[in-house]
Chain A
Amino acid sequence: MAALTASIPPAVAQDRASHRDDLAADLRALADRRGDVDAFMILSRPSILRRLARMIAETLPVGIDRLVGSHGQDDALVSAVALHTGIPFAVVDTASGAVHGELHVSEKVAIVRTRRAAGEGTLEQRLEELGAHVVTSVSVLAAESTASAGDRALFGAADIAGPVVPGRAA
């Protein structure tokens, strides 16, 4: 009795470029007419949060001990990246300096945030005071200006501004 063999399954996952273009389109859809995006508007949608977490995870170097975000705006984002990667996280209240969660001296940390505010350096300063070593910093959206050399943004202003339409065929 001859065995009936299975053929190779098709690839269902999107290619990287389509994935990024679709996500940029969804971010544009939630921007206002000037291209400004409210962090909570995008992070409160699991379909967007999941994709952002995956993209951020792909940028993180090996050896990260902990993810760190700013308490409040970035709670959801850093949680999602932690779920995706399995890396523990802490959030820092940049106003009071309080740390929520564990953060230890000499840990290698990655800062994860929605968007670095212009001129913001408080989180990095606080982490330095705590003796943590910031290995990388990843933002969803590029800051208007003053990004540090180590900063990396998933989407630039050109991705979000302009027509609120998908950039690629579905």
Chain B
Amino acid sequence: MTMVQGAVASVRAEDVEVLIREFAAMTEPGPGVTRLAYSRLEREAHAVFARYMRELGLIVWTDAAGNTIAELAGQDESLPAIGTGSHLDSVPEGGSFDGVAGVVAALEVARLFVHGDVRNVHPMRFVVFAAEEGARFGQACTGSRIVAGLTTSSDVGTLVDNDGVVLADAMADVGIDPRRVEDAVWRRDDWAAFVELHIEQGSVLTEVGARVGIVDVISGSTRLRIDVTGRASHTGGTPMHRRADALAAAAQVILTAEEIANDAEHRGTRITVGRIEVGPGSITTIPGSAHLFVDVRDIDSDRQREAASQLIAAAYGVGEERGVGIQVEMLADASPAVLPLWVRSSIARSASGLGVDYRVMPSGASHDSQMVNHVCPAGMIFVPSQNHGISHAPEEFSRFDDLALGVDVLAASLLDLDARMQAESQ
């Protein structure tokens, strides 16, 4: 238990654990947590958050994207708000902490501020973003992209899940009018800053023994679909030199991707082929088609695109060499984002004030903060992930005392930002 600077209460690991477990219980049957974007379960989880916030006396509303926002009034309501929050949807068979940690942190900070009678000058807003995970519709951070104006009502009609459900229809099914998503766009003059707490989803913090991570840059991502077209034919009747094997060519592309990312000029580049579809899918038929779904990530903007370009060129080279067709489509492209130094400094100052060891580090994963940073300066606090940093799996785990400490740093950071921005405005 740690006293938060400027607040009169503290966060208990037991309280964090209760909330984490409550949200973890809201899942489809099966291993881990399955609470997909714009599903009934995601909306129920938002309702739980809203209920807790109303019990604290906060004003709560759901915006046109399905994001839930709770506001604690500030002493000066003319000032823009300081925000915190994360998401409650999950990947299929995911863990209990991804996103939920930041929402629980928001709940605990709200409790600290209300019960501690904290006099924040700026309004404080606690946000649960809808549909952060890209697992269902292929696009990450949909709710936060909408508030940043990066996803529009026309976009939600084009994204489709594996069952053929269009995003707009999924939104309508849970009571969100997809034609009105523009109503959810945040005004820049309405937000002063935003800080998100999230689990690290890696093992850097546990390896260095730091209790908190402060994110300085969030990776960008270029996503490609590479279609390889060969000739399906009998495995017995077609000699090796007569083949146009789409899967063998695809395998060569995958290994080339690994070579590019492991090249000395690409320290920090990560290329992953996370999905492959092969046709016709018979043990006695040479594959005639292979579709690769490629994710190229980097914290270096130009290098990210150059690595993707290199891979595309290599894929065409493989096609030429093996006599197969290659077609490449860019599915998505987001730039890395350096997070504002002064927000990071505020978090670092707050951690130091609490005697908490921190590590400044990049984030390899996309987060809602990356999108919010298009509206207002954003910062991120990581808490350590255990089990070798496993995430998006049932084994995902963070210690509850680490989470509680992270919430303390978050609360102190919000108050530090509140005080400093107020002082600067006078």
A: which residues have CB within 8 A of B?
Answer: 1, 3-7, 9-10, 12-14, 18-19, 22-23, 25-26, 28-33, 41, 45-48, 50-51, 54, 163-166, 169-170
Contact = CB atoms under 8 A, between A and B. Distances in A.
A29 B337 contact: yes
Interface residues of B, number: 50
A164 to B, nearest CB: 4
Interface string B243-261: 0100000000000000000
Residue with the highest number of chain B CB atoms closer than 10 Å, among A12, A26, A33, A164? A12
A169 B338 contact: no
Contacts of B377: 29, 163-165
A26 B327 contact: no
B339 interface: yes
Closest CB pairs A-B (n = 4): A4-B325, A47-B300, A170-B334, A29-B338
Contacts of B319: 4, 6
B374 A9 contact: no
Contact of B342 (A25, A26, A32, A45): A32
Interface string B330-362: 100111111111100000000000000000000
A170 B337 contact: yes
B203 interface: no
Nearest to B267: A46
B151 to A, nearest CB: 9
A22 B301 contact: yes
Contacts of A50: 300, 302-303
B313 A47 contact: no
A154 to B, nearest CB: 15
Contacts of A164: 340, 342, 377
B389 interface: no
Given A12-B312, A29-B340, A170-B335, A4 B373 contact: no
Contact of A3 (B316, B323, B341): B323
